[in-house]
Amino acid sequence: MTSFSFTRQNRNPRVVVLLICIYAVLIGLVLFVEAAWWLMALLALATLPAVWDIVKDTSAGVELTDEKLRWFTGQRSGELDLSEVDRFRFDTRWDFSVRISAVLKSDKRVRLPDESLPPHKQLEDVLQQAGFTVERHHFRVF
């Protein structure tokens, strides 16, 4: 019997401190270096999704049972029948992030959302214990 569950809350102290630091730097650039306020405001737009996640207190996670792999993040969710999955592919990117895809028996790839997954080494162990083949690919250009 395989059962694994992982959930993370997007409202956590690390994200709040990071946003405070980003806004402090942007405001500091405007006040002390006389950076263009509109340019700093444009840079601050990139932080709005994180602010929205904190305000809404969204969560993300994944659940693995004997029959299904389910994931959710905010309002989105998805699931796969494990009988359709051939293997899992872990791709290490040039920025050292790891993208995880389920490769179906039809050779179609279903990319799992990064924000709903546990640390990749933990997930790799869980998938291998469940009997799945895990492929690792490092720094591919294509």
Token pair 């924000």 is found at 115
44 and 110 housed in the same domain: no
43 and 97 housed in the same domain: no
Q: Please give the Cα distance from 101 to 57 (Å, whole number).
A: 27
81 and 118 housed in the same domain: yes
Residue pair 7/58 in contact (Cβ under 8 Å)? The answer is: no
111 and 129 housed in the same domain: yes
CA angle 113, 114, 119 (to 5 degrees): 135
Q: Give the domain CATH number at 93.
A: 2.30.29.30
38 and 87 housed in the same domain: no
For 24, the domain range is 10-56
Of 56, 72, 92, the last residue of a domain is 56
Phi, psi of 88 (to 5 degrees): -120, 140
Task: Tell me the per-residue pLDDT of 86-142, one tens digit each, with 9 for 90 and over.
Answer: 999 999 988 888 999 999 999 999 999 988 999 989 999 999 998 899 999 888 665
- For 139, left (φ over 0), alpha (ψ -120 to 50), or beta? left
